[in-house]
Amino acid sequence: MNELIKKLVEAYGPSGFEDQMRELIRPEVEPLADEISVDALGNLIALKKGDGSGLRVMIAAHMDEIGVMVSHIMDNGFLRFTNIGGVSPHTLMGGRVQFANGLIGTIYSDKRESGKVAGLDKHFIDVGATSRDDCPVQVGDAAGFLRPFFAQGTRLTAKTMDDRIGCVVAIEALKRLSNSPHDVYFVFSVQEEVGTRGAQTAAQHLNPDVGIALDVTLTGDLPDEINMAVSLGKGAAIKVKDSGMIAHAGLVRLMRQRAQEASIAHQMEVLTGGTTDARPMQIANAGCAAGCISIPCRYVHTQSETVDANDVEACIQLLVEILAKPIEL
């Protein structure tokens, strides 16, 4: 599975520019799906048909990543930029970004005061240009961060575990789901990092009875970290609440029951900030029973997001257990 993880987490795909990601994921799921489609916003949708006795279920894992977009090219060829999604200035200094055509740039700051982090507007990207005329990029070009995947034992680190690891969970679950009573729509969604937009349009179109997001969540196991009952290596996190939604109580109970019955390591998640694709699924059209299986992740929205392979496996097993059996809420 690490080969698939490496392929996805190292790929380019800022919000709104997910074409390359979609072309990587499509051949992974197309042989496994009964139908496959791409909607107007760019969501990749793979349908696994059930036996007709179950529900209409939407699984959402977002393909996009945080990134930057060129907003101005200076006379000396350096690039000013704005953020795409939740980019924090303190993660930028000396980092590298990659544009859609493979061009690499280095980020630095022109205002450096001891003990202080300059704002995004004081950072620039160096792509080797000496003037505006010889600059190889244009205003509006987007870039993702550049950092290789590596594994240390069960700990896996990369720039975009959020949420390429959720995509891996969806792909692996689709591989293992031989039969289901439900019509399951695996949606690899776009533009989650800028407002869960892809999942919103997909949910409005598919009108699911049940929606399950696959996304990372924070952990509370770091020094002086937030008070949160989620730790790396302790299993799949079953979301109860985040700042954007309260998970359907019946779906939470079902997830917990399935995990206990199959002896799948799990933990309960209450996240005080942030939300997932479960929110737009929950409130689309007349609404649906929505929840989230979360992959615990350290250092979210940095270039070294870290998950545990055992937690990833637990999330895959839990999703398959839910989808292979009747869902009674």
Give dist(CA 265, CA 312) in Å, integer: 11
Is the pLDDT confidence value at 220 over 80? yes
Q: What is the CATH number of the domain that holds 86?
A: 2.40.30.40
Instruction: For residue 260, count CB atoms less than 10 angstroms from its CB and return exposed for 0-12, middle for 13-18, buried for 19 or more.
Output: exposed
CA triplet 299, 313, 218: central angle to 5 degrees? 25
Residues 168 and 296 in one domain: yes
pLDDT of residue 115: 73
Tell me whether residue 150 is in a domain.
no
Residues 47 and 174 in one domain: yes
Residue 48 corresponds to which amino acid? K
Q: Where are the beta strands (DSSP E) in the chain?
A: 35-38, 44-48, 56-62, 67-73, 79-84, 96-99, 104-109, 123-126, 142-145, 150-152, 155-158, 183-189, 210-217, 236-241, 266-270, 289-296, 305-308
The boundaries of the domain holding residue 202 are 2-65+159-323
Q: How confident is residue 111, by pLDDT bands cut at 50, 70 and 90?
A: confident
Tell me whether residue 174 is in a domain.
yes
- Tell me the mean pLDDT in the region 245-262: 98
Tell me whether residue 296 is in a domain.
yes
Q: What is the DSSP string of 81-133?
A: EEEESS--GGGTTT-EEEETTS-EEEEEES---TT----GGGEEEE-S-SSST
- Tell me the mean pLDDT in the region 10-17: 97
Domain count, the chain: 2
Catalytic site residues? Answer: 192
Which structure tokens are listed for 111? 């205002």
Calculate the average pLDDT of the chain. Answer: 96
Give dist(CA 106, CA 122) in Å, integer: 14
pLDDT of residue 284: 97
Tell me whether residue 39 is in a domain.
yes
Residues 9 and 92 in one domain: no
Tens digits of per-residue pLDDT, 50-99?
999 999 999 999 999 999 999 999 999 999 999 999 999 999 999 999 99
Residues 77 and 28 in one domain: no
Unique residue bearing structure tokens 């289901």: 180
pTM confidence score:
0.96
Share of the chain above pLDDT 70, in %: 100
Tell me whether residue 15 is in a domain.
yes
